[in-house]
Amino acid sequence: MRSRDNILSGHLVQPMDAEDLDEVMAIETVSFPKPWTRSMFEGEFRNPVSSAYVLKVKVDEMEEVGAYIVFWVVHGEAHILNIAVDPEYRGRGLATRLLSMMLQIMKRKMVYEVFLEVRVSNDVARELYKKFGFREAFIRKNYYGDEDAIVMILDL
């Protein structure tokens, strides 16, 4: 098992591929009450409007997935579907770095507005998104089945 005391060196952001899925699934299952399935991620690889990226970290001379994101771009709008950081590496700026790079990619794809849903109880994520300029627009009742979602919007 990794130790939080290990020193992270280097961050590499690259498109997610099938070889990343074991690590992505390990993060997914500990990050969400209702995690995506492996087939859901595989479906995103085939979806022409979908983009999926991983942020790899080097720890103890090994490279591993520290965070990932999946988003769609359709007609100038982006929708962030899934973003997570390995619990071992939370609080170290990985989500900030990944989201920053993804917003740059979205701008190059001529995106003018970004949407996402976040659990009402997820204060850490809400604060991260606000740091980037996302605003809380409205509530989707029972979006997660067991909890409401806040829809957040960013004008690029």
Torsion over CA: 22, 28, 29, 30 (sign): positive
Catalytic pick among 53, 68, 89, 129: 129
What gap in Å lies between CA 119 and CA 125, rounded to an integer? Answer: 9
- Is residue 42 annotated as a catalytic residue, yes or no? no
Q: Which of 77, 117, 136, 147 is catalytic?
A: 117
- Distance from the Cα of residue 131 to its chain's centroid: 15
Question: What distances in angstroms separate CA 92 from CA 64, 87, 88, 95, 97, one per listed residue?
Answer: 15, 10, 9, 8, 10
Output the CA–CA distances (angstroms, integers) from residue 103 to 18, 108, 117, 125, in the order listed. 23, 9, 16, 16
117 is catalytic: yes
Residues with catalytic function: 117, 129
